């Protein structure tokens, strides 16, 4: 008897339907074809043990299973459940006629319990689009899948429960999640707040501008000046995720297996901190079994790189394309995958190996030329893609001992949200553009017109500092954001001057 069940394979962050064709006939052999990896081939032993433990008869005939399409590699243990159900249905142990109306995913333990799997959310989206009656998943994945409306999601705890459900011997209540209500309950709690940051008015203002426009920022300063702490405060001033952004972010984390158990939606913007020893693949994604990297896990959020010159040159250079295009394309001999990577890059570094260059309190002990060589570890093309690079001076003792709290994050966030609302209205007719940092050159000509005085100020700076065309674009975008924070419809000369003040590493005397 020939029976078809349905599962899915992941291509990037999207799911593709996999049809599992099971034929039970005369004979004694077991065949599994359709480009399965070792984990899928080992499902034979897991399924056999699970069925024996639960007193469910194993087909004592020849079993041939084809996983189509055969040109896509099937990876992981998540195919255990649809394979087992297909064999039982072909052996007429499952007599329900609607087996082929469900998509199923789940890993079987040896006692028949269902273990959670990753990538459930994109599969649920695909199941709804293709009109399946329901989606059967391990119970721990049910809340994640039920985020997709207009799809019945059944969370099961064991293979026995699934068999009884398909035989109409028992019922499983569909998991209900009101996506909008769940999202509305978001209660963002932040461990770091700008109220705890003493002094650093210039750096705080620069970070506010960066957050308001979604700009990349590099902080250069001595150890202990507060760079890392301020970076960790940035999520507390970013606008809350929209429902669309939340679904998109949750989808990426679901594919990577980073969601907590019984999770439904990611409600806070991601903050990912990569160590300086990170590999190229871990940063951008890919690998033998393609997975999203740190830049994709930071999508719609912040990627923090501390001690930037200590990163491998190759790891930093692979950031150039995603910083510009806001997506990463990974091409290999056997696949080409695209992951979203629209993140805000926040980087921090010491100004020199000893850390005290330009420190008013300590003398730099580096030899002549060492500072410049240290800074040269960050390539010019990468620096061009960072909109703001600022100097962070250590806080004086008087400032540190002040008892009065600094301005809290909630006040800064209010201004940031107001600026983002202006940008949302400005770009409402532009597809995929949500903030000033995402503007294309064509949009800049439309939304960043300059009067004669602004042009004169910018021309003088370009001639003196020898800006590249990309740096010129970055300055205009930052000036547009500063104007939005001032609620100004036009860019004024003071906005240009402030934007230029955030290009510290472009100064001729920086680094000797």
pLDDT value at residue 187: 63
Model confidence at 461: pLDDT above 90: no
209, 388 Cβ separation under 8 angstroms: yes
Least confident window among 208-217, 379-388, 400-409: 400-409
Least confident window among 48-52, 386-390, 400-404: 400-404
Q: How far is CA 346 from the centre of its chain?
A: 15
Residue-wise pLDDT tens digits, 324-341: 889 998 887 777 888 999
354: DSSP letter: S
pLDDT band at residue 508 under the 50/70/90 scheme:
low
Of residues 510 and 162, which shows the higher confidence score? 162
Of residues 197 and 18, which shows the higher confidence score? 18
- Count how many residues are written for the chain: 512
Model confidence at 318: pLDDT above 70: yes
Average pLDDT value for residue range 296-315: 93
pLDDT band at residue 124 under the 50/70/90 scheme:
very high
* Distance of alpha carbon 74 from alpha carbon 60, whole angstroms: 26
Q: Edge to edge, what strands does the sheet with 271-274 contain?
A: 271-274, 302-305, 344-349, 217-221, 388-392
* Distance of alpha carbon 61 from alpha carbon 27, whole angstroms: 5
pLDDT value at residue 372: 85
Phi, psi of 4 (to 5 degrees): -120, 130
Residue-wise pLDDT tens digits, 390-440: 999 888 777 777 777 788 999 999 999 999 999 999 998 888 888 999 998
| Range list of H helices, 326-391 | 370-375, 380-384
CA pseudo-torsion sign 209, 210, 211, 215: positive
Helix or strand (DSSP H, E) at 156: strand 152-156
Model confidence at 50: pLDDT above 90: yes
Model confidence at 197: pLDDT above 90: no
Model confidence at 261: pLDDT above 80: no
3-state secondary structure 426-456: HCCCCCCCCCHHHCCHHHHHHHCCCCHHHHH
Task: Return the structure tokens found at 254.
Answer: 């679901």
Closest CA to 241 of 179, 148, 174: 179
* Distance of alpha carbon 292 from alpha carbon 281, whole angstroms: 9
| Range list of H helices, 186-233 | 201-213, 227-233
pLDDT band at residue 301 under the 50/70/90 scheme:
very high
pLDDT value at residue 506: 67
Helix or strand (DSSP H, E) at 11: strand 2-11
Q: For all residues of the chain together, what is the average pLDDT?
A: 89
pLDDT value at residue 298: 95
Model confidence at 511: pLDDT above 80: no
Closest CA to 122 of 156, 85, 148, 101: 148
pLDDT band at residue 464 under the 50/70/90 scheme:
confident
Residue-wise pLDDT tens digits, 185-195: 666 678 888 98
Q: Which of 167-171, 206-210, 225-229, 398-402 has the highest mean pLDDT?
A: 206-210
Model confidence at 450: pLDDT above 80: yes
Residue-wise pLDDT tens digits, 13-46: 899 999 999 999 888 889 999 999 999 999 999 9
Q: What is the pTM of this model?
A: 0.88
Average pLDDT value for residue range 156-181: 91
Model confidence at 480: pLDDT above 70: yes
Residue-wise pLDDT tens digits, 245-260: 889 999 999 999 888 7
pLDDT value at residue 510: 57
């Amino acid at each position: 008897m020939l029976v078809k069940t349905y599962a899915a394979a992941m291509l990037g962050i999207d799911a593709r339907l996999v049809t599992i064709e099971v034929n039970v006939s005369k004979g004694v052999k077991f065949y599994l074809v359709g480009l399965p990896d070792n984990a899928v081939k080992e499902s034979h032993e897991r399924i056999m043990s699970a069925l024996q433990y639960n007193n469910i008869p194993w087909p004592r005939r020849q079993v041939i299973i084809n996983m189509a399409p055969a040109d896509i590699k099937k990876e992981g243990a998540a195919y255990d459940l649809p394979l087992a159900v297909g064999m039982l249905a072909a052996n007429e142990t499952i007599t329900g006629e609607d087996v082929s109306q469900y998509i199923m995913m789940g890993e079987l333990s040896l006692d028949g319990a269902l273990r959670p799997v990753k990538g459930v959310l994109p599969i649920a989206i695909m199941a709804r689009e293709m009109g399946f009656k329901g989606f059967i998943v391990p119970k721990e994945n049910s809340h994640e899948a039920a985020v997709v409306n207009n799809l019945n999601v059944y969370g099961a705890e064991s293979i026995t429960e699934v068999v009884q459900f398909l035989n109409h011997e028992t019922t499983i209540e569909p998991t209900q999640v009101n996506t909008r209500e769940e999202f509305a309950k978001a209660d963002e709690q932040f461990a770091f707040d700008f109220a705890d940051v003493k002094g650093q008015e210039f750096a705080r203002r620069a970070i506010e501008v960066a957050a308001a426009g979604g700009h990349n920022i590099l902080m250069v300063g001595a150890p202990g000046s507060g760079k890392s702490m301020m970076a960790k405060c940035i999520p507390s001033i970013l606008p809350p995720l929209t429902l669309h952004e939340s679904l998109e972010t949750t989808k990426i984390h679901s594919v990577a297996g980073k969601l907590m158990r019984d999770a439904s939606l990611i409600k806070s913007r991601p903050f990912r901190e990569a160590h300086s020893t990170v590999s190229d693949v871990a940063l951008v994604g890919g690998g033998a079994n393609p997975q999203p990297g740190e830049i994709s896990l930071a999508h719609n959020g912040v990627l923090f790189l501390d001690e930037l010159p200590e990163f491998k040159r190759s790891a930093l250079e692979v950031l150039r394309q995603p910083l510009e295009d806001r997506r990463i394309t990974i091409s290999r001999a056997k696949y080409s995958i695209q992951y979203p990577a629209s993140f805000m890059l926040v980087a921090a570094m010491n100004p020199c190996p000893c850390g005290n260059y330009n420190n008013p309190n300590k003398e730099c002990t580096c030899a002549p030329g060492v500072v410049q060589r240290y800074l040269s570890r960050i390539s010019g093309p990468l620096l061009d893609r960072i909109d703001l690079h600022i100097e962070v001076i250590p806080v004086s003792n008087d400032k540190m001992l002040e008892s009065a709290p600094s301005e809290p994050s909630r006040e800064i966030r209010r201004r940031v949200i107001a600026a983002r609302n202006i940008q949302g209205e400005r770009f409402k007719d532009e597809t995929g553009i949500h903030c000033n940092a995402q503007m294309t050159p064509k949009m800049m000509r439309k939304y960043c017109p300059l009067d004669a005085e602004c042009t004169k100020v910018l021309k003088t700076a370009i001639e003196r500092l020898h800006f590249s065309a990309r740096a010129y674009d970055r300055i205009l975008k930052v000036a547009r954001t500063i104007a939005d924070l001032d609620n100004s419809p036009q860019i004024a000369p003071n906005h240009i001057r402030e934007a230029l003040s955030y290009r510290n590493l472009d100064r001729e005397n920086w680094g000797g």
